Amino acid sequence: MRLAPSVSFEFFPPAQPKAEAQFWDGIDRLAPLGPDFVSLTYGAGGSARERNDRVVRALLRRGDISIAAHLTCAGASRSELDELVRGWAAAGLKQLVALRGDAPGHATAFVPHPQGYQSTAEFVGALRRIADFDISVAAYPECHPQAVSPAADLDNLKRKLDAGAARAITQFFFEPECFLRFRDRALAAGINRPIVPGVLPIFDFPKVVEFSRRCRASVPSWLAVRFEGLDGDAETSLLLAATTAGELCGRLRAEGVEAFHFYTLNRAALTHAICRSLGLSPSAPAAEEAA
Ligand SMILES: Cc1cc2nc3c(=O)[nH]c(=O)nc-3n(C[C@H](O)[C@H](O)[C@H](O)COP(=O)(O)OP(=O)(O)OC[C@H]3O[C@@H](n4cnc5c(N)ncnc54)[C@H](O)[C@@H]3O)c2cc1C
């Protein structure tokens, strides 16, 4: 029998008390599926930063799942970032998702902080010197909007991996071929670390369209047809979202992909259903542990 794939789950730190309950319920629901790690996104602003630190530490105290804390280097000095990371390492953190982040408002191109890291590759190297972290970095199957060219984007990814990152996690995409072509190009460029597809279950189609426009991920016309006229029909939308993500994962698995990163948006039920359809359950742990 084919083993279930490895999975990781991305959450964001909840801002409101009601969202807090939903967040912890989501962690409780997905933790028994045996993810490689649960990752927590990072917001660089003042209150977001404090919230982030609090939730990272609370997740570490649970002790039943591996936690990967996202961290962006834009807009912060080296010493601020190093101090934060040393504190997390002392609290037991072993995994990071190292990112550049964006300028506030996303309006302008990245300008490094005067005392900050000059690039994400430099940031990755520095993090590895602080502790023996397992580090993931971001990759863009449809090219990062600020990249000079797809080739330059791949060079940048290679620099981040060569600096010590263990794997890349991709921006979401909806056509399997989009990921598979990217994986081929990465291999041809000498990238041999794992590239894990980022899967975005479509909780709210109009929002996904808007978000995709901002990060220049394409939304195929067949997908728009699939969700057409369902804006007020949450029940049908959810069923379709599970089917759509399940199909995507199935087609990628047929091409040898055995690890998936889910952007849960703190809505665990949908990701849970998709993982169940991939063969994961509390009694059927993910690939590595089951071997
Ligand atoms: C898996 C994943 C998780 C994420 N998590 C978070 C998060 O928790 N918090 C958050 O704020 N954001 C997050 N992001 C978004 C990310 O911060 C943005 O996409 C950001 O614009 C780029 O970050 P990066 O680490 O990919 O950048 P990089 O890899 O450093 O750069 C991206 C591209 O920009 C080009 N580039 C870099 N510097 C310059 C420059 N000076 N001039 C021109 N081009 C340049 C690079 O060559 C590359 O092509 C995430 C993205 C992904 C895919």
pLDDT digits (tens, 9 = 90+) for 205-240: 999 999 999 988 999 999 999 999 999 999 999 999
Q: What local confidence, expressed as pLDDT, does residue 241 receive? A: 97
DSSP string for residues in 115-155: TS-SSHHHHHHHHHHHS--EEEEEE-TT--TT-S-HHHHHH
Residue 160 alpha carbon, nearest atom of ligand 1: 29
Give residue 25's pLDDT: 96
Nearest to 129 by CA among 76, 75, 86: 86
> Ligand 1 site: residues with CB under 6 angstroms?
41-42, 70, 72, 97, 99-102, 109-110, 119-120, 138, 144, 146-147, 152-153, 156, 169, 171, 198
Q: CA-CA distance, 105 to 74, in Å (whole number)?
A: 13
Distance between CA atoms of 176 and 247, rounded to whole angstroms? 9
In the chain, DSSP finds a helix count (H) and a strand count (E) of: 11, 8
The pLDDT value recorded for residue 288 is 52
**List of residues 6+ apart from 99 with CB closer than 8 A:** 42, 70, 71, 72, 73, 120, 137, 138
Residue 219 phi/psi, 5-degree rounding, is -110, 110
Global pTM value: 0.96
Enumerate residue ranges in the chain where pLDDT < 70: 1-2, 104-108, 284-291
Task: Measure Cα distances from 284 to 35, 45, 64, 267, 289 in Å.
Answer: 11, 40, 17, 22, 9
- Size (the chain), residues: 291
What distance, in Å, lies between the first and last C-alpha atoms of the chain? 12
Q: Which amino acid is it at 69?
A: A
Question: What confidence score (pLDDT) does residue 290 get?
Answer: 41
Which of 56, 144, 178, when mutated, tests ligand 1's pocket best, judged by the most ligand atoms within 8 Å of its CB? Answer: 144
The C-alpha atoms of residue 182 and residue 140 are separated, in whole angstroms, by 8
Contact present, 137 and 171 (Cβ < 8 Å): no
Find out whether 135 and 124 touch, Cβ atoms under 8 Å. yes
The domains found in the chain, sorted by start residue, are 6-290 (3.20.20.220)
Q: Does residue 10 have an active-site annotation? A: yes
Q: What local confidence, expressed as pLDDT, does residue 93 receive?
A: 98
Q: So what's the pLDDT on residue 102?
A: 86
CA-nearest residue for atom 6, ligand 1, is 41
* Amino acid 3: pLDDT: 83
